[in-house]
Amino acid sequence: MTKLHPIAGASPVDRQAIDPKRVIEGAPVAETRLDYACGDKTFAGEWASDVGAWRVTYDEWEFCHVLDGVCELTPDGGEAQRFQAGDSFVIEPGFAGVWRVITPMRKRFFIRYD
């Protein structure tokens, strides 16, 4: 079994509206392409969304690298942090707050559940 996994970007895209129960602004629709999975604990791929804002709660670690667009993440009780094309960030388990897409965005992600 190989320990090297090139990301080809040829996986099918899953397009879904953000759960309306979580939406704060707009009617955002997200596209997810899963390029790598190892069991049910580790994933890598690409994600995109149009403009809108919704509540998020993380049980997982996520590394994000923004390819296009602008977003803000605002932790409950904290200040918004803005990210744009070229920026990278990590979200830790326990993060809860609002994910806002300001201009349509696309990101690469790597997710790991403990």
Domains in the chain: boundaries: 45-114
How far, in Å, are 4, 10, 35, 37, 41 from residue 101 at the CA level? Answer: 33, 25, 23, 26, 26
Q: Which residues pair with 64 in a beta bridge?
A: 89, 109
Place of tokens 């996986």: 11
What pLDDT does residue 1 have? 62
Report the alpha-carbon distance of residue 49 to residue 37 in Å, rounded.
21
- Cβ burial of 40 (10 Å; 0-12, 13-18, 19+) is exposed
Higher per-residue confidence, 8 vs 88 = 88
* pLDDT above 90 for 10: no
pLDDT in tens, 32-67: 999 999 999 999 999 999 999 999 999 999 999 999
CATH of domain 45-114: 2.60.120.10
pTM confidence score = 0.93
